[in-house]
Structures are given as structure tokens and as C-alpha cells.
């Protein structure tokens, strides 16, 4: 049976990824910051193995990669993310918060993907997915603002595209996705789609990827997105 590893699996999009893959009979390596109190995650039926992982902690990432060293991971999903403070502009920029958001959204997907190359390379499907955002698209930035979040997602797109080139000998498909504007704690109640719609679309688009797609950026419905 296939195995997926998901970061930030305890709520929002990560929780729904866990629910849907588990319901389809996948083994899910579900990581979250607080594995002692994983909330709704503990109530999902299926083969779900919960592991503690703060994605910005290099030692935790290295330890988990070592603990799982003999495991094949068909799909690794870098999902964990933060928005950072809202209503921040040029007059009240919070540079420390910006650094923290870059740490989680930009550096951690590379940190984790690098640590798990072997696990993915020895699997059948060989896919590394990063949940980015259309807010990281430079050409789609028609309204400005949100310097912190936008720059973290624009940067992760660049980082993961370079990563795709760095590991091309492994024939791993590396792709970035915008999940839609989704009703989660981050997306809020006014968002346009629910988690089920977003994650069903993402799963079907991820399933359709092949190595020719490596280094690309897509909408959750599989449409290519502009950088
Ligand atoms: N919702 C949207 O409309 C939308 C749109 C575009 C992109 N996205 C992206 O989609 C992804 C998931 O977002 P969401 O809407 O599901 O957000 P969410 O409901 O706020 O959930 C975020 C998840 O990330 C985890 N997380 C944050 N920092 C972490 C860290 N340092 N280590 C481990 N886990 C951490 C959270 O864990 P804790 O519970 O421990 O905080 C939580 O599980 C993010 O990358 C986000 O940027 C979302």
C-alpha cells in the first residue's frame, strides 16, 4: 500500500489530506507539533502514524528522517504554513515576524524535502509537493500588501524549483500547488471553497503528475499557474 507523509496534519488542509488518504487505504505519516494532543487527528480511522514535528526545528527533522530511514514515502506533502501578522504595511513592518514566516514557509519545505530525498526516491510514486499560494505569484500581484506572506510563498516557489533541478537524477516529481482560498483557520469563513473541495482537487492533480511536471506551479484543479 502507498504511503504519504503530511506536515501540519492536525488541522485545516493537512487534516483533510490525512482524512482522505486514510479513507482510501493509504498509510499516512501524519506530523504535527503536538502529537500528545493531536485534536481531531486522533479520531480519524485508518493507518495513521502520528509523529511530532515542528518543521522549523532541524534536529526534529533529522531525528524523524533517521527514525523512518527504512520507510518508502510515495508522496511527501509540505503543507505546514503560517500567515504571520495581518494588517502590517510599510509603516509598521514587523521584521522579526517576517523572519519567522520565512523560516516556516520557505526554509522548512527545503529542510524537510532534503532530509527525506532517500525515502521518496525509493518509493514507487516519487513525489514531493509543497502547498504554496497564488499570493506568491509575482505576475498575479495586482493589489499589493501582505509583504510577509507573499514573499515567503514567492520564495518557496523559487526554492523548490531549484530543488527540482538539484535532484533530477532521482526522478522525483517536485511540484508546488495553490490550494484555492480555503475555509480554514488561515483562510477564514469567507473563503471560497471548503477543505473537501480543495483536497479532493489537490489529490487528483497530484495523482496526475509525472516527472515532466517537475518544478512547476499549479492550481488545486491542476491548471498551471504563472510565477
Ligand atoms: N487556507 C487558505 O486559503 C490557503 C490559501 C493558500 C495557501 N494556503 C497554504 O496551505 C497550507 C495549509 O494552510 P491551512 O489553511 O490549512 O492553515 P491552518 O488551518 O492555519 O493550519 C496550518 C497548519 O500548519 C501547522 N504549522 C504551522 N507552523 C508549524 C510548524 N512550525 N511546525 C509544524 N506545523 C506547523 C499548524 O499546526 P499548529 O496547529 O501546531 O499551529 C497547522 O496544522 C499552508 O502552507 C498555507 O500557507 C492556505
pLDDT digits (tens, 9 = 90+) for 15-51: 999 999 999 999 999 999 999 998 999 999 999 999 9
Verify whether ligand 1 is closer than 6 Å to residue 8 (CB atom).
yes
Does the CB atom of residue 225 touch ligand 1 within 6 A?
no
Q: Are 215 and 158 in contact (CB under 8 A)?
A: no
Please work out whether the CB of residue 38 comes within 6 Å of at least one atom of ligand 1: no
Tell me 27's DSSP state. E
Strand (E) or helix (H) holding 102: helix 95-102
Angle 10-216-153 from CA coordinates, rounded to 5°: 50
Cβ(12) to ligand 1 under 6 A? yes
Which residue, by CA, sits nearest to atom 8 of ligand 1?
133
Q: Are 225 and 137 in contact (CB under 8 A)?
A: yes
pLDDT at 188: 98
Residue 187 phi, psi (nearest 5) = -75, -30
**pLDDT band, residue 169 (cuts 50/70/90):** very high
User: Given the CA of residue 54, which atom of ligand 1 is nearest to it?
Assistant: 32
179 CB near ligand 1 (under 6 Å) = yes
Identify the band that residue 216 occupies on the pLDDT scale cut at 50, 70 and 90: very high
Is the confidence at residue 8, as pLDDT, over 90? yes
The arrangement of secondary structure in 3-219, i.e. its CATH architecture, is 3-Layer(aba) Sandwich (3.40)
For the chain, the structural domain boundaries read: 3-219
* Residues 114-125 pLDDT 10s: 999 999 999 999
Q: What average pLDDT does range 48-62 have in this prediction?
A: 98
- Distance from Cα 27 to the centre of ligand 1, integer Å: 21
How far is the C-alpha of 34 from the C-alpha of 196, rounded, in Å?
A: 24
Q: What is the mean pLDDT of residues 217-226?
A: 98
Q: Which residues contact 158 (CB under 8 A, 6 or more apart)?
A: none
Give residue 4's region: left, alpha or beta (phi > 0; psi -120 to 50): beta
Mean pLDDT, the chain, whole residue set = 97
Q: Model-level pTM?
A: 0.98
Q: Is 82 in the pocket of ligand 1 (CB under 6 A)?
A: yes
Radius of gyration of the chain (CA): 16
Give me the sign of the Cα torsion angle 27, 31, 35, 39: negative
Residue 87: is its pLDDT beyond 90? no
Q: Given this model, what pLDDT does residue 126 score?
A: 98
Amino acid at each position: 500500500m502507498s504511503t504519504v507523509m503530511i506536515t501540519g496534519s492536525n488541522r485545516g488542509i493537512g487534516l483533510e489530506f490525512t482524512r482522505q488518504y486514510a479513507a482510501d487505504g493509504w498509510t499516512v505519516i501524519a506530523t504535527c507539533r503536538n502529537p500528545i494532543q493531536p485534536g481531531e487527528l486522533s479520531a480519524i480511522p485508518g493507518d495513521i502514524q502520528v509523529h511530532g514535528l515542528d518543521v522549523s526545528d532541524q534536529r526534529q527533522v533529522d531525528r524523524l528522517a533517521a527514525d523512518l530511514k527504512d520507510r518508502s514515502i510515495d508522496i511527501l506533502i509540505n503543507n505546514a504554513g503560517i500567515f504571520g501578522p495581518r494588517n502590517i504595511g510599510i509603516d509598521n513592518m514587523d521584521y522579526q515576524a517576517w523572519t519567522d514566516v520565512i523560516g516556516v514557509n520557505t526554509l522548512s519545505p527545503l529542510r524537510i524535502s532534503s532530509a527525506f530525498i532517500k525515502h521518496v526516491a525509493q518509493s514507487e510514486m516519487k513525489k514531493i509537493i509543497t502547498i504554496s499560494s497564488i499570493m506568491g505569484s509575482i505576475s498575479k500581484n495586482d493589489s499589493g500588501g501582505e509583504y510577509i506572506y507573499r514573499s515567503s510563498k514567492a520564495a518557496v516557489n523559487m526554492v523548490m524549483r531549484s530543488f527540482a533541478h538539484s535532484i533530477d537524477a532521482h526522478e522525483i516529481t517536485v511540484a508546488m500547488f495553490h490550494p484555492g482560498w480555503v475555509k480554514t483557520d488561515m483562510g477564514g469563513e469567507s473563503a471560497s471553497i471548503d477543505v473537501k473541495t480543495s483536497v479532493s482537487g489537490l489529490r487528483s492533480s497530484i495523482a496526475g503528475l509525472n516527472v515532466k511536471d517537475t518544478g512547476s506551479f499549479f492550481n488545486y484543479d491542476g491548471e498551471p499557474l504563472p510565477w
